[in-house]
Amino acid sequence: MMHSVLVTGGAGFVGSHACKALHAAGFVPVAYDDLSGGHAHAVRWGPLERGDIRDAARLREALGRHRPVAALHFAARIEVGESVRDPAGFHDVNVAGTRCLLEALHQAGITSCVLSSTAAVYGTPRTTPIAEDHPLQPINPYGETKLAAENLMADFAARLGLRFAALRYFNAAGADPDGELGEEHEPETHLIPLVLQTALGRRAQIAVYGRDYDTPDGTCIRDYVHVSDLAEAHVLALQHLLAGGPSLRLNLGTGRGWSVRQVIETARRVTGRAIPVVESGRRAGDPAMLVADASQAMQVLGWQPQRAALEIQIGDAWRWMTRAAMPA
């Protein structure tokens, strides 16, 4: 018998890849998504239940119909700049929505949940690479709401028997190696797809914000982790919880940082296209370097990124983007 798993935000970028990984691992992923940021065509490996994460009655209905053994929780608002403009809206979805989900899970007797969290819970890094015991001092409402979601899960764990895994990933990148899924944010804010859109001619140029950081080439450095590797980590965390393992808070990254200039140069090599650049001033709140210490995830879950090379991540994203741009 194949067990069902509820996947909130299962029509989104990481959530849809997780659904594919769940299916490959023998589960039936039930995507629960209001399609405000996700896409129905990305739901291919199980049913789609359309609903808002804050709709308790709709959640109970979906849980009652499919009787999942656990949940993966991706549904959230994620754009950092937007969180500064609309902090109340981010708290409503990311915190109140998480509480609504946890209450519905508790009422249904479901005790395992994996949370899509973020390195933004750490704020400006004091040390690099960043380990899980780094101080938690988010510097924007997005990070604050994700930390609040983690702490809600810890409260449910302490009082109501929930076991959870909060997976703090760094910069999600790439696309499904089979070409079935990719990144389709609107508007797009992530560097690699913006660079590739410039290579395709959809954008006139790519902006580089700041060239005077304390890094080898003066631009910000980030740890890019392939979306398929992220998806596999969620499956491993789920299996850990279903086997009776304790709650976890783990980083997901490669431990290797790449600068903005390195991303652009790699994209030029991969695509063979010109990518015009315009240099601009620093953006407020951009740390010089964000690189993960993901050794705990590797040790506890046996997770090992398989597509860590930047060329592979950009190549997968480029194949997806050029295929998606082809006429049907």
Looking at the annotation, which residues are catalytic? 142
Cβ neighbourhood burial of 325 (10 Å; 0-12, 13-18, 19+): exposed
Helix axes 56-66, 97-107, angle to 10 degrees: 40
DSSP letters spanning 10-45: TTSHHHHHHHHHHHHTT-EEEEEE-SSSS-GGG--S
Between β-strands 221-222 and 258-259, what pairing exists: parallel, antiparallel or unpaired?
antiparallel
Provide long-range contacts, Cβ within 8 A and 24+ apart, for 238-241.
238/5, 238/22, 238/27, 238/70, 238/72, 238/112, 238/114, 238/165, 239/25, 240/165, 240/300, 240/301, 241/70, 241/112, 241/113, 241/114, 241/163, 241/164, 241/165
Say if CB 66 and CB 30 are below 8 A apart: yes
Q: What distance in Å separates the CA atoms of residue 195 and residue 208, rounded to the nearest whole number?
A: 10
What are the residue ranges of helices labelled H in the chain?
Answer: 13-24, 56-66, 80-85, 87-90, 97-107, 141-160, 191-200, 227-242, 260-271, 295-301, 310-325
Residue 294 in tokens = 């993901």
Q: What distance in Å separates the CA atoms of residue 128 and residue 293, rounded to the nearest whole number?
A: 8
